[in-house]
Structure 1
């Protein structure tokens, strides 16, 4: 059989990059941003708001600390047409330490998968007709096995197309925001020569919070230390109990000997008294 005959798909006219003529190219665009900000949470919320106003959303987020300062790691999904605008806006929101973008052309792979999918769907339709015309069980089983194989392949190809579609439709922005200043620390400028009641209340509140945090940290480390050395404490306690029992047993054994010695001494004294001359 040759292409163009009934039931056989004709070759699809393609461009230089493997895509059918007139079909759009498929580009996956992503970016990574390493930022520094005085207030990491505030900077992140500003960037997230910018994205959500343009149809984007937060895919993931993780908060940790390094050297006492907050570190935010997040992934934001955004339509590719807004990616460059987002990167420019990020530079006005925080200090950009590192910025990188990537573009992956999956056009050829995408349309190759699409072509294979159409071919297999046509083959599946033919094998379905063959199954209806099977003359015996052996033929039916052979055709059914091929139908099962084609069905599995078709589902796999559809999954790849869905993956490509989602990656092309949304850019992934990987964010890393490091905080350069603790927003909880005292930042207000105070005039020490004339403290107002408001300034005094502010300082007292900050002082109490500092003391409370210090005590909490001390308590946490003490608890960690106790748990860490608890096996040694248990061993020491067992040793002390064994030594105490041995000493008690030794004392119990020495009591009869002391009593016998005391009885002997009393008997000797009595014997001496009896042997002494009487007047």
Structure 2
């Protein structure tokens, strides 16, 4: 059992939990993830490690409340326990302190992008971070990105936070203004990562994407995170989650990602009804 040390609501649909997990905290690196079960009979769900403190044994995860299991997880409060919290899993991100990098985060994907930005920054790299959200109410981790970036740009679809526009607009603007990035790292919705890669491909800039959004089981057994990379079949959880973005077949990944939409909607509705009964 793993104790929840702190719970923080980042926005109406995104929550941060700090969990006591000394082994994970000691060994975790940027880009890796954990698998947890809320209760003994709960589904296994993977979450990227947002932060880890090997001295205190604390590990932070950030999640969006979108389905039955995340709704259940969100009912946990400080002092409560999570049944399983296993990791770190996945291959760590490759960090090079001699690079000039652009870190692109979209929505809750910023929770995954932040530890990568932090790792590059701590290694001595020149870090430009660009984060994007639909509106000001959904913005998360702004101050944390500023603290771990040499340059930071906040974008919003409606202009209520930072500059109006997409992350790709700002990225291309910087490239055309003369910025020479050695690498771009994009983490967020599949459609965002696709268009970041289309943008960087025009300028021949190596681009890494994190395919965490399509993971389910986290061990390679379920096959849900199967994707095509350079014409070869890969699994995001065991072969990644980081891949060469210019080699990923995003259209196929997005199509597969919609396969269980109806099932997920049903699970969410069922969880809502169960939680309502508990409250009553």
Please state which band the TM-score falls in when normalised by the shorter chain.
Answer: under 0.3
| Structure with greater Cα Rg | 1
TM-score, normalising length: structure 2 = 0.19
**Which structure dedicates a bigger proportion of its chain to helix?**
1
TM-score, normalising length: structure 1 = 0.20
Using CA pairs under 8 Å that are at least 6 residues apart, name the structure with larger relative contact order, 1 or 2.
1
**Which structure dedicates a bigger proportion of its chain to strand?**
2
